[in-house]
Amino acid sequence: MAGYSSLPEKLEMLARPNFSRFAETALSSHDQVARTLGGEILAGVYPPGGKLPSEADMLARFGVSRTVLREAFKTLTAKGLIVSRTRVGTTVLDSAHWNFFDADVLTWKVAQGFDMAFVRDLAAIRLAIEPAAAEAAAEQATEEDIARMRDCVARMGDAPGDAGEFATADLEFHKAVGQASGNVLMRSLSAVIETALLASFRMSSPVREAEVHEESVAGHSRIVDAIEARDGAGAAQAMRDIIGHGFARLERAGTGGTKKKRKD
């Protein structure tokens, strides 16, 4: 999204729960309206199966033209959040239709805080992709790739007590592994979920405990060592270990959000 110079700044802005702040300023684009309504849908203000307010009410709320509002609705429809029908109105779709691989939807989800179901889903996706990326990197990584990973690990080691700096270096490390894999789909997936990854890395950051911090840095170093040694199986296992340890820290931290049971 335009207007943020960095991903951490975007997360900090979106973490503020008052979505009405967008309506309090002169909205000039359908993107801002879509962002407001999208955030409110994910927050449960408009629950699945429920109707959005009428077009007239929305126009009065946002102070935009009918064209802008309809473009915002088209955006939300494309992301799987709503469906509009003549003489029926606009209905919020079940969350099974929501496209969490859409960067905006994922960002809006992160702004709500993580529940354990979402954390488990994120860990499962990572376990399905990142060990394979590490294994591929053991075959494909160049000296430049390995140097980039080592730089990230060094920055993680230099960030005791600074969860933000550690998380940023951690994210860049995992993106570097995806880049080194040579697989364009793995690289693309990393880019798509980076908002969720950064938020989860911040919440699971080990920097508050010196021993845990050192072990996390060492664990990331083991991934690079295995990649450099062209040990694909070792790199994959070291990546599984890192993901598992991070998930365990998120569980202990309570995820910073409301725990919800799965419907399925």
Question: Same structural domain for residues 220 and 188?
Answer: yes
Range of the domain at 91: 7-97
Q: Give the C-alpha separation, 108 to 93, whole Å.
A: 16
Question: What is the chain's percent helix, strand, coil content, to nearest 5?
Answer: 70, 5, 30
| Pair 203, 114: CB distance under 8 Å | yes
Burial tier of 66 (Cβ tally within 10 Å: 0-12, 13-18, 19+): exposed
Q: Is residue 118 part of a domain?
A: yes
| Per-residue pLDDT at 8 | 43
- ∠ CA(238), CA(255), CA(125), 5° rounding? 45
pLDDT value at residue 209: 83
Q: How far apart are CA 88 and CA 78, in angstroms?
A: 19
- What is the average pLDDT across 229-235? 99
Q: Is residue 171 part of a domain?
A: yes
Percent of the chain with pLDDT over 70: 85
Residue 108 lies in a domain: no
Residue 113 near residue 11 (C-beta atoms within 8 A):
no
Average pLDDT, stretch 76-105?
A: 94
Residue 18 covered by a domain? yes
| Range 163-167 average pLDDT | 89
Q: What is the DSSP letter of 83?
A: E
Indicate whether 81 and 189 sit together in one domain: no
Between 86 and 16, name the one with better pLDDT: 86
Determine, yes or no, domain membership for 102: no
Q: How many domains is the chain built from? A: 2
**Does residue 52 have a pLDDT over 50?**
yes
